[in-house]
Amino acid sequence: MTSESNSDPTASRRNVIAAAVTMAAAGAAAGGGAQAQTPSNLQFSNPPGMSKPPTYSHVVEVNGPNRTVYLAGQTGVDATGKVAEGFRAQAVQVMENIKTALASVGGNFENVVKLNSFLTNIEANAAEFREVRAQYFPKQALPAATLVEVPRLASKDYLIEVEVVAVLPPKA
């Protein structure tokens, strides 16, 4: 750096940014470019028994000292792509989808540590959702949970969507 950049904070920031851009360009030239490598501790899957989305994965598993599993928001859609009719039927299908996804990585509802639930009408459906949810979660292992009302989900036919984070023991 020049003595000018030491007294001019703007010039100093420009030099830092220029150095960062140069290092990024060098990394791209060395093979670290736009196509990122998937870390070996990540596994992306769409388990059998669930729909096959073309633009995302239902399950992402992070292996480490423990395995953290992230489930995409599950809706009332079965493996064939059919949307269940009515709120209760959709809530049950959501929980069955979560059960299938957890089983695909060797887990179950006891492994769930966080639940984010999105309903299009909390006033009409929250109590019914809680009833359905209670049938799947053991009382001694209730996860942290958030329930939010949204004006609409990805399809106008969806009344509920639930995403999950689970923690499992490491693979043997």
Question: Do residues 133 and 161 share a domain?
Answer: yes
* DSSP secondary structure code for residue 37 in this structure: P
Question: Do residues 51 and 130 share a domain?
Answer: yes
What pLDDT, in 10s, does the model give residues 57-115? 778 777 778 889 999 999 999 999 999 999 999 999 999 999 999 999 999 999 998 99
137 in a domain, yes or no?
yes
pLDDT-based confidence at 35, cuts 50/70/90?
A: very low
Question: Do residues 19 and 59 share a domain?
Answer: no
Is residue 170 scored above 60 in pLDDT? yes
pLDDT-based confidence at 26, cuts 50/70/90?
A: very low
24 in a domain, yes or no?
yes
116 in a domain, yes or no?
yes
Question: Do residues 96 and 151 share a domain?
Answer: yes
Question: Do residues 79 and 163 share a domain?
Answer: yes
The count of domains in the chain is: 2
Question: Do residues 80 and 99 share a domain?
Answer: yes
Is residue 25 scored above 50 in pLDDT? no
Question: Do residues 26 and 50 share a domain?
Answer: no
102 in a domain, yes or no?
yes
Domain range holding 9?
3-32
Question: Do residues 12 and 91 share a domain?
Answer: no
Is residue 31 scored above 50 in pLDDT? no
Question: Do residues 14 and 82 share a domain?
Answer: no
Q: What's the predicted TM-score (pTM) here?
A: 0.69
Question: Do residues 142 and 69 share a domain?
Answer: yes
Q: Could you tell me where the DSSP H helices lie in the chain?
A: 3-7, 9-27, 87-104, 122-134
144 in a domain, yes or no?
yes
Question: Do residues 110 and 89 share a domain?
Answer: yes
pLDDT-based confidence at 38, cuts 50/70/90?
A: low
Q: 139-147: which pairs have CB atoms within 8 A and are 24 or more residues apart?
A: 141/109, 141/110, 141/112, 143/112, 143/113, 143/114, 143/115, 144/113, 144/114, 144/115, 145/114, 145/115, 145/116, 145/117, 146/115, 146/116, 146/117, 147/117, 147/119, 147/122
